[in-house]
């Protein structure tokens, strides 16, 4: 099969490598890819948000299956456009992808399906926001309704901070014209659980834990994710199935009843509270950087799973198999991230890092320039260590990441430290 992966980040690099392990993958293409993906797939000069360009390229290249990485083209209807042109695609159609494209819509679905989530209200204007903030409980969470690359969430510790946040949303309009979801702040441990869906069946993947804040100790502003690890202590297959029963399956069943079949990945960002798992957000695609920790552990054929997800009932009786190894993924970010990013800084040590045993280096924001690989985005690289224990995997990841350097490089030093404390390093 000739496969086309849409996207150019670390998630897509991990997807390319996982798809390449399938015996039916004869050729891999990526649009637009990056400097690292170019070593594993033929990159096409088409942006991931260019729906018309992606469809044209897929037709011209006689692609057998398109696997879409980022959320924006899914929400924009890329799968609809591809299938209308006779190209098979993995991912939800636009009406189903709206579960990520609108947080207000996602909350309505959760309420209708009986899925546990934080209590909330919708703020539609600055005036409405200021009325509600005076009687809200703090800390409180404010979220831009639409897509914001993981940066549209502000946790306000006080009413004063919440009022500053409303200026960001309604005056500065940092995230465009948007409604805002004001929701209760949940306490507990975060968990990411991705599942494959065929509009009828739900097959959960291995759980992962993500780190959203830029600094150690979960300090500083939210990012698209600064690291992850998989599996997660305390979440064995039986508990994962319980969460899928409470969270994923009711949503997929509701959407099917509404005539909106959900095919592809349904990602649930969860908070494990004293009352149980509650949904923080739904995403319509593989998570980033969770994918970089989950897919290296996968032993099932990802191409077969993607194809089965496209067919109603295609996942019946199917399960996703994973190695017992642990994976710890570090995100290496550029200077200024998440507020900005430094581009064009030469990166050294990539070959040395990739040579460390049981380590995968995937590229997120990189490019070629004058014979060198340079930074080209906020999140630059992912370094994933694999090991028999979380401690072994973590040590390998940090050993390899320590060999990489570029101007202004940022990296958290506490990724998976909690897992090591719970499970042990040896």
Average the pLDDT over 220-244 and give the result. Answer: 95
Per-residue confidence (pLDDT) for residue 130, from 0 to 100: 87
CA atoms within 13 A on the CB side of 53: 13
Q: Which residue has the tokens 């949904």?
A: 279
Cα separation, 48 vs 189, in Å, equals: 33
Average the pLDDT over 145-174 and give the result. Answer: 89
The rounded Cα 52 to chain-centroid distance in angstroms is 24
Calculate ∠ Cα 212-268-276, nearest 5°. 95
For residue 426, pLDDT beyond 70: no
Cα dist. 389→226, 321, 382, 394, 420 in Å?
21, 18, 19, 8, 8
Q: What is the dihedral of CA 127, 129, 134, 138, to 10 degrees?
A: -160
pTM of the model: 0.95
Per-residue confidence (pLDDT) for residue 149, from 0 to 100: 75
Cα separation, 27 vs 42, in Å, equals: 8
Average the pLDDT over 312-327 and give the result. Answer: 97
The rounded Cα 288 to chain-centroid distance in angstroms is 3
pLDDT band, very low/low/confident/very high, at 409 (cuts 50, 70, 90): very high
Who's near 282: CB < 8 A, 6+ residues apart?
99, 100, 106, 109, 110, 251, 266, 267, 268, 269
Q: Are strands 180-184 and 120-123 parallel, antiparallel or unpaired?
A: antiparallel
Look up residue 248 and give its DSSP letter.
H
Mean pLDDT of the chain: 96
Report residue 175 as tokens: 């995230």
Per-residue confidence (pLDDT) for residue 425, from 0 to 100: 58
Per-residue confidence (pLDDT) for residue 216, from 0 to 100: 97
Q: Which among 359, 103, 315 has a CA at the least distance from the CA of 205?
A: 315
Q: Which among 181, 62, 46, 197 has a CA at the least distance from the CA of 121?
A: 181
pLDDT band, very low/low/confident/very high, at 404 (cuts 50, 70, 90): very high
Q: Which among 196, 208, 223 has a CA at the least distance from the CA of 327?
A: 208
Average the pLDDT over 224-233 and give the result. Answer: 96
If one counts every other C-beta atom within 10 angstroms of the C-beta of residue 124, the result is 13
Look up residue 357 and give its DSSP letter.
T
pLDDT, greater one: 263 or 339: 263
Cα dist. 89→47, 127, 242, 305, 426 in Å?
17, 43, 29, 13, 43
Helix, strand, coil content of the chain in percent (nearest 5): 35, 30, 40
Average the pLDDT over 6-13 and give the result. Answer: 98
Per-residue confidence (pLDDT) for residue 30, from 0 to 100: 98
pLDDT more than 70, % of the chain = 99
Per-residue confidence (pLDDT) for residue 42, from 0 to 100: 98
DSSP 75-105: HTTHHHHHHHTT--EES--HHHHHHHH-HHH
Per-residue confidence (pLDDT) for residue 222, from 0 to 100: 85
Average the pLDDT over 304-322 and give the result. Answer: 97
Q: Which among 305, 264, 304 has a CA at the least distance from the CA of 282?
A: 264
């Amino acid at each position: 099969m000739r496969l086309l992966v849409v996207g150019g980040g670390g998630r897509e690099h991990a997807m390319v490598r996982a798809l390449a392990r399938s015996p039916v993958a004869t050729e891999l293409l990526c649009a637009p890819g990056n400097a690292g993906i170019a070593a594993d797939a033929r990159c096409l000069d088409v942006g991931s948000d260019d729906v018309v360009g992606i469809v044209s390229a897929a037709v011209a290249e006689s692609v057998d299956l398109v696997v879409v990485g980022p959320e924006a083209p899914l929400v924009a209807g890329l799968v609809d456009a591809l299938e209308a042109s006779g190209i098979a695609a993995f991912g939800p159609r636009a009406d189903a992808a709206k579960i990520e494209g609108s947080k207000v819509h996602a909350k309505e679905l959760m309420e209708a399906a009986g899925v546990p989530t934080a209590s909330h209200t919708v703020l539609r204007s600055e005036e409405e926001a200021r009325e509600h903030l005076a009687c809200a409980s703090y800390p409180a969470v404010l979220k831009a309704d639409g897509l914001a690359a993981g940066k549209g969430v502000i946790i306000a510790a006080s009413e004063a901070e919440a009022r500053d946040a409303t200026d960001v949303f309604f005056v500065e309009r940092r995230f465009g014209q948007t409604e805002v979801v004001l929701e209760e702040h949940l306490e507990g441990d975060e968990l990411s659980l991705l599942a494959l869906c065929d509009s009828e069946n739900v097959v959960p993947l291995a759980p992962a834990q993500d780190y959203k804040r830029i600094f150690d100790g979960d300090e500083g502003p939210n990012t698209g994710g600064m690291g992850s690890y998989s599996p997660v202590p305390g979440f064995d297959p039986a508990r994962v199935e319980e969460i899928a029963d409470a969270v994923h399956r009711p949503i997929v069943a509701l959407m099917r009843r509404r005539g909106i079949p959900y095919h592809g990945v349904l990602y649930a960002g969860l908070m494990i509270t004293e009352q149980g798992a509650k949904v923080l957000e739904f995403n319509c695609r593989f998570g980033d950087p969770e994918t970089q920790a989950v897919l290296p552990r996968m032993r099932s054929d990802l191409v077969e799973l993607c194809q089965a997800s496209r067919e109603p009932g295609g996942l019946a009786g199917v399960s996703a198999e994973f190695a017992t190894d642990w994976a710890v993924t570090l995100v290496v970010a550029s200077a200024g991230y998440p507020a900005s990013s430094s581009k064009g800084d030469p990166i050294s040590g990539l070959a040395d890092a990739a040579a460390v045993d049981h380590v995968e280096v995937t590229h997120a924001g990189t490019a070629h320039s004058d014979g060198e690989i340079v930074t080209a985005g906020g999140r630059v690289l992912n370094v994933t260590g694999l090991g028999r224990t979380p401690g072994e995997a973590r040590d390998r990841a940090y050993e390899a990441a320590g060999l990489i350097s570029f101007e202004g490089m940022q990296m958290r030093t506490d990724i998976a430290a909690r897992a090591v404390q719970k499970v042990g390093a040896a």
